[in-house]
Amino acid sequence: MSIRFILCFNKQGVVRLIRWYVGNESSGDTQDVIAQIYRLISSKDHKRHSNFVEFSETTKLVYKRYAGLYFVMGVDLRDDDPIYLSHIHLFVEVLDSFFGNVCELDIVFNFYKAYMVMDEMFLGGEIQEVSKDVLIERLGTLDRLE
Amino acid sequence: MLGVVQPVEDVKQRLRPFGLFFERSLKDLIKGIRAHGDSPESLEKYLAEELSHCREEVNSLDMNLKSNAVLKLAYLEMYGFDMSWANFHILEVMSSTGMRNKRVGYLAASQSFNRDPDILILMTNLLQKDLKYSATGGNDTYKIGVALSGVSSFVTKDLAKDIVQDLLLMLNNSKPYIRKKTVVALFKVYLQYPESLRDTFDQFVLKLEDEDRSVVSATVSVICELSKQNPSIFIQLSPVLYEILVTIDNNWIIIRLLKLFTNLSKVEPKLKHKLLPKIVELMDSTSATSVLYESINCIVKGQMLSTDDFDVAMKCLKCLNEFCISQDPNLRYISCLLFYKIGKINPQFVEQFDELILHLLCDVDVSIRSKALELLNGITHDGNLKLIVSTLMKQFVNEEVVVIENYRNAATRDVPIVVPEDYKIKLVTTIIKLCSMNNFINIPDFKWYNTVLIDLVVVSSDLKDKTRLGSMIGEQIKSVMLRVPDLRNVTMTTIITILTMEKMNLSTVLKECVWCLGEYSKLIENGDALIQLLIRNAPHFNAETKVVLIPAILKLFGSWCNGPANQDLPSIKIVLNDMIDFLDTLTTSSSFEIQERSIEVSEILKLSLDAVEMQEQDNSDEGGLPLLLCEVIPGFFNSYELLPILAGTQRRLQEEGQISSVDLITPFLTQTELSNILKDYDEIQEDGLSHTDRLSDHDGKYRSESDLDDSVANDAGNAAAGDEVHDDLHFLEEQRRQEQLSNPFYLTEESEGTKATTNDLLSLDSNDSSKREDLTLIKLASENLTANAGKTGERKKRGKAKRAVVLADEVVIEPNPRADSTTLHQKVAALNKSDRGINLVTQSQLSSFDFSKKGDDRELDDAENEAELEKLRKKFAAQSLDTSNVSEPVEDQEEVIVIKKKKKSKKKKKKNEEDVPDESNTVQNE
């Protein structure tokens, strides 16, 4: 399994985006899982620590912080990490171009558009498009459809 | 009028999707949440209100209002509000024709449907409709795109079955956008419904040759993911994939391909020959760090690196070396991981990178340090062990800081590195592992190791895993004590330092320490002070330590009494009294082991006390010590020096013993001998004599032993038989030694059971004058064993019958077998009686054996009325009179069960008495 979930929350732990690509494996409440992830990640000093955290017996978290927002991906424990960091980075870059200097409020008020970006990039936990130009063009078209 | 209103409504309707109504509404919700953010109560109230609004709105007939409500619900879902109750409404919104609403519907479905698969049954038709492409429809491409995104988030097996054909058709769609999305959606379908992969494999892999690069990229990604689960089916694609790898210049796809080849190469080693040169070439040509990393990763994880590929390994390691010292913590971390893996393939690879590893050990990121710790065993040698260990030890002590530069005001500040507990635990275990590795081969100086161990005790005291760490350190101390005879004095000092350490709360380390104190008590001059110290500290010891402590103080006492400084009787008496007082407090311990040992030892000590008092009264001039003190007690423990033995020796000896030298089948008694014994039963009963063939040569001594039996039985307080007791105990000791020698399970220097190999391991000082004697004794014992060959059958039969007795207790039986069993009972009891006479030493063990059976046996007795039995019971009664005075009452009945095991367990028991934790026997020695 590739990406298990994509999660985005702010420094206070308020969820901004969440998409599960597999059923939540841990039987616990989704909110508990999110709280757990938040605790794990917010306690790390992102400047000095690596951006990988082992989360459960099967899942590893790859995360990156952009301003006040954490972008987290849950991936297979055996997977290699750096590629997912690039995924996150690409995702943020595309968000940035799409909204134009994106900030947290953009994502809050246009969360459905952020999901649209996510859906154009990732499909079922697998990255489907890696070209930023293609993505931006596609998203522009989709956006005009509204 | 109507004409005017209508357009306004119409305009409003049409404006809604373009943001007017709808945007405000979601904005209102979000702003409201932010406005109420300061207090949780008001926020909760607000959200509850909004939710009830949503509930009303989703029931609205106006599709736009409904879709708006669904969107708000999707937003609230992120706050943890379940929206599965609205699933049906979501479905409605999804089925609306407008692109906007449809998209909102699919978004909500992606969030909500994976919790409720039932709703999917309802939407199969809808999906199939949405996935139909008609070239005329204006927005069909995007409609399908939205549907595919939705499908891939909530597809189930049933849904997968239904739509797989629709998806296949779309693989050949004219739009690359749709082909690409379909490829990825099929991935989810395959995961849910693997059978479909078999049927559609050919069509699917054709997409590797698609003209559009995005489609190829997506296909490679999907195959890469699928190959993680089942690589073998994709091996046939290797030529195509290789072709892509050679021709393509997109780094994303190259990385994906490398990952894919990693998976394939794991199951198909032949790929290595073709791939490895290409990957090495790639490493030379690329400038992208990620590609470089993935190349190395592919080589390592794809198992293309064998232990003799020094060239490739060095090339990889040199790259990694650079990554490992880069500024990027992520790159450092993953490179360190790869470095670690290469190091595991062949430790020689990393040998020359010891500087780097030491560097990583001090990395600011503790998780990198932790990985570097695991690499240490590859680079450790006797030259750098001290350096490494001191580097590690410093991490316990030094508060490390990182200097963070603040770019804004050009100031710097120190931020302490938080070292987690787990890492500290790992540090301790790593230090111990490194030092003890390969039988301490790297340790240049054991004095130094002693100080390290003391330091470890100090640092481990605060760690949460201290129970385990304590016993690990204890093991080390014991090993050093045992194996470095020249430095035993130093080690002893270490132990005493640890013992007297203030605020020592690493109680588990004490177990081995206390054992060492006892075992090497000869090294201690003022044993009395140490005994007092131990007694004082004993309340803080844990149960395991107390178990070891009891024999240890006896050993200490023995050594001290017979030490070079001749002790005078009064001071011995003081120590004796202290010890007895102390042991008395333990006799009520809840641990059986402590109880039993404390009683045993305290009885011996009481005897000694009597002997000392006697000596004082009798001849205060001579000043010698009673025999009990100067010979018997030391004799308990000093027969042999414990030596380290190769791990597994014990088992090998046992196996060999079973095959060749030890006859476990032959009974000890022939039929006639047995009946003789039974005949002699009355006689035995009268004079308390017991009889075995084994000791028949020692008849004279044997009598005196049973006298001893009596004298012990008549309580230690009765000092009249003092000297006699000493003699007898002495004899007993002698006899015990013999038994050990004849015991195939007891490792002695020249036991016949041992083979040449073990002789090497067990070589003792040959100046032992008793050796010859021992040898003859062994011989004697084994002669007996062989002499008794042929009596096995009887013995065996009895064993079986005995079991029948035990069974008979549990099941209600008819009179006939009962009668049978009673005669057996009788026989066995008689035999038992005779055995008992010999086994004075093992009395306590007998009494501790299997209490549960006792009750059953009594019931049996109660139930029996036959005259024969009555008679038997009288005999039992008389017999138990004989034995009841012996320190603990012994149930005869239960011995019926014991008898078969007696031989073996007795020996085990004895061994336990002598060298308490006999794990040390299995320590390696090379």
- pLDDT at position B861: 42
| Cβ contact B259–A80 (<8 Å) | yes
- pLDDT at position B622: 56
- Residue of B141, B146, B152 to mutate, interface with A, max A Cβ within 10 Å: B152
Better-predicted residue by pLDDT, B748 or B41:
B41
- pLDDT at position B154: 81
Which residues of chain B does A20 touch, with a Cβ-Cβ cutoff of 8 Å?
114, 153
- pLDDT at position B110: 83
Per residue, the 3-state secondary structure of chain A, as one string, reads: CCEEEEEEEECCCCEEEEEECCCCCCCCCHHHHHHHHHHHHHCCCCCCCCCEEECCCCEEEEEEEECCEEEEEEEECCCCCHHHHHHHHHHHHHHHHHHCCCCHHHHHHCHHHHHHHHHHHEECCEECCCCHHHHHHHHHHHHHHC
Nearest-CA distance B435 → chain A (Å): 30
Answer whether A44 touches B (CB < 8 Å): no
- pLDDT at position B353: 81
Q: How many CB pairs under 8 A join A and B?
A: 132
Q: What is the pLDDT of residues B512-560, one digit of tens each?
A: 888 888 888 888 877 888 888 888 888 888 888 888 888 888 888 888 8
Average pLDDT over residues B465-475: 83
Which residues of chain A does B103 touch, with a Cβ-Cβ cutoff of 8 Å?
112, 116
Q: Which helix (H) or strand (E) holds B696?
A: none
| Cβ contact B330–A52 (<8 Å) | yes
User: For the ranges A53-67, B50-64, B414-428, which has the lowest average pLDDT?
Assistant: B414-428
Measured between CB atoms, which of B30, B185, B297 is closest to A123?
B185
Nearest-CA distance B414 → chain A (Å): 13
How deeply is B325 buried, as exposed, middle or buried, from its count of CB atoms within 10 A (0-12, 13-18, 19+)?
A: middle
> How does residue B228 score in pLDDT terms, banded at 50, 70 and 90?
confident
Q: A7 pairs with which residues across the strands?
A: A18, A72
For chain A, what are the domain ranges? Answer: 3-145
What is the three-class DSSP state of B243?
A: helix
Which residues of chain A does B149 touch, with a Cβ-Cβ cutoff of 8 Å?
119-120, 123
Measured between CB atoms, which of A16, A82, A115 is closest to B330?
A82
What is the reported pTM? 0.57
Q: Rounded distance, CA B238 to CA B243, Å? A: 8
Nearest-CA distance A34 → chain B (Å): 10
- pLDDT at position B661: 59
**Would you tell me which residues 76-115 of chain A have a C-beta closer than 8 angstroms to some C-beta of chain B?**
76, 80-83, 85-86, 108-109, 111-112, 115
Residue A42, number of CB atoms within 10 A of its CB: 16
User: For the ranges A9-23, B160-174, B311-325, B684-698, which has the lowest average pLDDT?
Assistant: B684-698
**Complex ipTM over 0.85:** yes
Q: Rounded distance, CA B842 to CA B840, Å? A: 5
Which residues of chain B does A134 touch, with a Cβ-Cβ cutoff of 8 Å?
214
Helix locations, B234-365, DSSP H:
238-247, 251-267, 271-285, 289-301, 310-324, 329-345, 347-350, 354-361
Only one residue has tokens 């998806």, namely B167
| Cβ contact A126–B149 (<8 Å) | no
Nearest CA in chain B to A130: B252
Q: What is the pLDDT of residues B236-284, one digit of tens each?
A: 888 889 988 888 888 888 988 998 998 898 888 888 888 888 898 888 8
For the cut 50, the answer to whether the pLDDT of residue B815 exceeds it is no
Residues 6 or more apart whose CB falls under 8 angstroms from that of B314 comprise: B349
| Cβ contact B152–A115 (<8 Å) | no
- pLDDT at position A72: 92
Q: Which residue stretches of chain A have pLDDT < 70?
A: 1, 23-28, 45-49, 80-81, 146
| Cβ contact B191–A1 (<8 Å) | yes
Answer whether A129 touches B (CB < 8 Å): yes
| Cβ contact A30–B99 (<8 Å) | no
> What is the fold of A3-145?
Beta-Lactamase (3.30.450)
Q: What is the pLDDT of residues B578-594, one digit of tens each?
A: 888 888 888 888 888 88
Q: What is the pLDDT of residues B701-733, one digit of tens each?
A: 444 444 444 444 444 444 444 445 455 556 666
For chain B, what are the domain ranges? Answer: 446-637, 652-836, 845-925
Of B95, B149, B157, B104, which is closest to residue B125 (Cα–Cα)? B95
Answer whether A27 touches B (CB < 8 Å): no
Highest mean pLDDT among B128-142, B271-285, B492-506, B791-805: B271-285
Better-predicted residue by pLDDT, B35 or B3:
B35
For the cut 60, the answer to whether the pLDDT of residue B789 exceeds it is no
Average pLDDT, chain B: 70
**Would you tell me which residues 54-73 of chain A have a C-beta closer than 8 angstroms to some C-beta of chain B?**
none
Answer whether A11 touches B (CB < 8 Å): no
Q: What is the pLDDT of residues B627-674, one digit of tens each?
A: 777 777 777 777 777 777 777 777 777 666 555 556 667 777 777 877
Q: What is the pLDDT of residues B875-916, one digit of tens each?
A: 555 554 444 443 443 333 333 333 333 334 344 444 444 443
- pLDDT at position B662: 60
Q: What is the pLDDT of residues B359-379, one digit of tens each?
A: 888 777 777 788 788 878 777
- Residue of A24, A91, A106, A130 to mutate, interface with B, max B Cβ within 10 Å: A130
User: For B176-215, b where at least 16 C-beta lie within 10 A, e where not — what string?
Assistant: bbbbbbbbbbbbbbbbbbeebbeebeeebbebbebeebbb
Average pLDDT over residues B439-445: 80
Better-predicted residue by pLDDT, B618 or B131:
B131
Q: What is the pLDDT of residues B381-392, one digit of tens each?
A: 777 888 888 888
Contact B17, B101 (CB under 8 A): yes
- pLDDT at position B875: 58
Which residues of chain A does B294 touch, with a Cβ-Cβ cutoff of 8 Å?
80, 82-83
For the cut 80, the answer to whether the pLDDT of residue B209 exceeds it is yes
- pLDDT at position A96: 92
DSSP string, B374-411: HHHHHH--TTTHHHHHHHHHHHHH---EEEEEETTTTE
